[in-house]
Structures are given as structure tokens and as C-alpha cells.
Structure 1
Amino acid sequence: MSHPGRYPLILSLLLLLAVPGSVTADDDRFDHRRMITPELRQNVDRGLAWLATRQQADGSFGLRSMYRTNPGVSGLCGLAFLASGSVPDRGPYGDVVRRTLDYVMSCATPTGYIIEGNAEYYHGPMYGHGFATLFLAEVYGMTEDKGVRDVLKRAVDLIVSSQNDEGGWRYDPGSQDADVSVTVCQAMALRAARNAGIAVPKETIDRCVDYLKKCQNPDGGFRYQMFRGAESEFARSAACVVALYTSGVHEGPEIERGLDYLRGFLPGSVQSRNRKYYFYAQYYAVQAAWHADGDLWRKWFPAVRDELLMMQRADGSWMNAGIGPEYATAMALLVLEVPNGFLPIFQR
């Protein structure tokens, strides 16, 4: 049974966004809302409308090759609608969120693993599990739906039990080594679950933080694995900084060096655009800037906002050649929706 008490807050926030005059210029807490321009709202609405048309009859998203019906891609699409203010059965896209939720929950196995039957055809099922768990945690945090809690708790338990000796995670629950990209997915899911009241062992978080710190290079960026892929790279470095923030590391040399590294990839620069994993990178980088606040946030969000709006296609979507437009559109929308503050994981 869902808890109705959270919905008036969401509706109040929607009204606040709709009335710019209610936000005073001298109130720093709402400074970020002045970045939500009429053009941004209009184009986010176009993106959401397009994405809603891409939902399949079973509630899933994604038609492209090996990522078709991936619960992680569907979870990211669901998060994009949650971040706009809709929740299951309420809001402009309440029905879309409900069907997404039903689909993701249908992929949950008795062990807690959220995996679809075609998993052998797509890359790294623990990616999908992490993003799907994040979606469930955000839904539960907004609704307190007991049915969601039961599935979420099992998904969290699987993450905790599959942490390996290095302190991280990799493509499958039984992997003996770790990489920072999959590890960040699990760290974000665990943080969202903790925010929603699901118990997560402190030791699990501490070991994850220790693993990420060991993967940081002297230049402030992060390598792919502790003993392989030694070069720093923007996308995974942004992800690692966010994971440290959400795991409770809010200051210190690792954060400062990580942020200094990210400053070299400001959206609009050659370093930003001419990189692989563009949407993945900006999804995490904007969250890193959001947590850092101050000058970095004030520079980063307008730059990525304007860059993404230029990249938006005429039908309202964004395109990623590898995973597909549903994934790219969901990621772009999540970046653009950070200032809304509706998702608990986006709240400082």
C-alpha cells in the first residue's frame, strides 16, 4: 500500500517550479532553480513525451540489439519520469512509472537478482541490477510501498553479499575482481536504499570507499581497475567522485583532486564532447558538480544544459549509437532534471 503523505510535497515542489516569483533572489538554497529556463522546461517536456511513446506493452524500454528489455535501461527511463515529479499512478506520467515499476519488479528473482531472460545477450548484468535497484529505491523513498520494499530489500542483500575481496563489484554477482564502473552503480543503489530506510552494513560502504580510493591516480582521475586500465578517464572519474560523495566522503584530498580533474572537461569543450560514453559521463559529472556546489555547479549546469539542448533531435529524443535512443534520452533528461530536486538521490 503506498503512503500518500509524500505526494503533497512533490506537488508543492511542482508548483514552486511553476511560479518563479516564489523563489527569492537572495535565497541561496534555491539559486539553482533560476537555471531552469522556459526553454529547458519545454524541451524536457518534449523529451518526456517522446520517451513515454517508447514504452513497450510489458512496461519495458529499449529495442536496440542486446539492450532490449534490459531492466537497467528501463530503470533509468523510470527515473527520468520520477525526476520530473511523476510517481506511480500520480502525475502526468504516473501510468508510465507504474508500468515501468511492474516490469522491473517482474525481473526480480527469488535470490534478489534483477535480471531479464535475455541477460546473456547484454553486457554486464550487474549494471542492470544496480540501475534497477536505484529505481526501486527511489520509488520506495517516494511512496513507501511495501511490495516495492520487499523486492528492494532482496536486491540490496544481493549487492551486499556479492561484494568481492577487492571491495567492489563487477559484471556478475560471482565475479572475483572489481571495476570502478560497476562498483559505482552498486554504491549509488546502496545509498538510495539507505536514504529510503533499508539497512546497509557500514562495512560494505567502508570497503567500497576504500576500493574507490585505491583506484584514484595522482592526477585526480580514476583507473578502471585496481591493477588494470591504469590511465584516468573522464566518465569513470566523474562516476567515482559521485560515489564517494554519496558514500559519505564529502571532503578530503580524494574529493578535491577528483574535482580538479573534472574541471578539465567542462561541457562545451573538445575534451567533453569528443569522448566515449558521453551520456554516462554527463549523468555522473553533473551530480559531482551538484554535490560540489559553488562555482563548479554554477558553471557546469548551464554549460551541459545548453550542450544537451543543442544535441536534442527534432522528435524530442537524444541518440546513443550503442545502447539506443531510450537510454540516451533518459540520461539526458536526468541531467537536465537535477535542479528539480525531486529524486532523493539528487538532494544534497
Structure 2
Amino acid sequence: MSLPQQSSNNMFNAKKFYSLTLNGDIPEALQLLSSEQSLMNENELKIKNEFEKRFAGAEDESDFLIRKNSGINDLLLVYRDYWRRSFISGQNNDTALKKELTHFFRNLYTSNDYAESTFEDDTLDIFLKRYVNENGLKTTGFGMTGKFYDLLVWKDEHDTTYEFDLNGRKISPRVVFMTGFVTLGWEEYATLGRHYPGGWATKEAIYCVKDVYDLNSENFLVSYLAHEGQHFEDYKLFPKLSGTDLEYRAKLVELSMASETLIRTLTFFINNADYESDNAHSVANYCVIRDLSKEIFETEFVNDTEQWSCCFIEEYKQSQCQTA
């Protein structure tokens, strides 16, 4: 069940646009840009022009690769074309990507023996990391973010240890701060750099895109650190949880610990909720708002942020009266 998002009568529906792009629904995003052109301000018209350069024609006519210029440009070109084909066609292009990467790495590192076979994922991971490392960079390796294979590449990193309270439990994960990104993956490409991963967790550590955060802010301490900290714990405690279940639990932790960012976080979840999506974040957003709506308002799904704001203001007033 998709969450309907209504545009104001006199404003471009930017929230719906970015929700579509984050879900990889580029044709629908292009259609929205076309239908709401008359509602756009000057900056939104620039976004429309850049987006259409990237996705409306037979080829990407934007300066994406020029701005991303690095030693791995040839590899990034392979991924860019895969992302673009996947977005526009709505079809699974994963097999084609693996064949292209096999050809790419075979020409660099191997003989032509078994030239018709496609490398297994583990082999692609080894060659991908080797190629990126040889160019003085680091990567997550061969893997997916949501429904698309992704390419996350950065130059520098340093790590430290954070000890913090996660809803009554003390945890102390290793946190790796990454800087100098060459690419932040398909989300960055699809949204013109508006949205991208702020970090992620593994069983061994939490990884942080450092330039995104004020390290003293609730955005870092709750939306990033507590969220990824929950993933870090769940990977060890519940290794078979699905991506949607992992995100559901982490998003509930965010809301339970947020204060100044609470309404903003709720609003983001509402605007990016889609039960029918292939993206675990979008499905989890929907489930979180649905379940809280049932618990608090006794209704299926409340998408009115004013109603949520009034609810939490009233709850705060009652708590103050009880402590007075």
C-alpha cells in the first residue's frame, strides 16, 4: 500500500519527487517534473533541468562523471550505466552488471580462460576491492543497497570507539569515520546528491560518512549512532532478521530517543513510506507509522504531521504536570 502524497495547489511536490527517486522510480519522477513545471521556483527548475539531462534522454548528458573524476572512472561508468538502465526500465539488470564487471576485471587481472563464464559474487568482490585499493581508495565491496548493486568509494578513514546507552544497554562499537568520497552510490545518483547513505553497520564496526554530521548533534547521536548501533547489536543477536525488520527496529530506537529531531524524523518517515516498495527503508517507514498510528490514534495511518506534533506537545505538558 503506497502512501498518497498530495501536492499543494501552488507548490511543487518536492517531497513526493525525492520519495520517488529514493525508490528508484525515475520515470514517475520525470512525469511529476513535467506535470508540475508551472508550480516550480527558479531553483526547482534548475533541478528539473539537471534531472532531465541525467535521465530523460537516451544517454546521461549531465556532468556526473566529470565531477566525480578519479582513478576509478571506468568502473564508475559501468555502475552508472547499470543504475540508469535499472531505474528507467524498471527491470532487473543485475546479471548484465555481473557480466560487464567480469569482462572489466578479466581484462585487467586474468587470462581469457573460461571467457564465457561470469564470475561468482565472491570473486567480483575480491577484484572490485583490489581495483579500488590499487587506486588509493577504499570500498564496501560488491554488494547491494536495497534493490540495486551499489558502489561506495572513499579515500580516507580513521576509527575510534564510542560508548553510549542504547535504551538501557551500554554498547561500545568501533566507529569508522570516512571522508573524501568519490561515490556515495545509487541513491546519490538518483537524487542528484540530495540523499545518500549517512553510514552503515557491520558485525565488526559502524561506518560513518563524517562530513554529513555535527558530531555533537542529535542527528548524529540518535539518527545515526543509535540507529546503526541497533543494527550492530541485531546483527549479532538476530542474524537472520530481514532488512525490513532490521530497519523497523532501528527506526523505533530513533523515535524513542529523539527529542529536538522527533517531528522532523517522523515527517521523513511519513514522506518516504511505501509498503509496496522493494526498499527496506520505505517499507519499515510505513510499518512504523502504521503501528504507532494504531497505538496512539487508533487508526490505520496518520500522515498529518500537525496531528503528531499536537500529540507530543500534549504528552509533554502532561509529563510536566506529573513532575511538578
* Structure 1 length-normalised TM: 0.32
* Structure 2 length-normalised TM: 0.34
The structure with more helix, counted as a fraction of residues: 1
Looking at both structures, which has the greater relative contact order when contacts are Cα pairs under 8 Å and sequence separation is at least 6? 1
Max Rg structure: 2
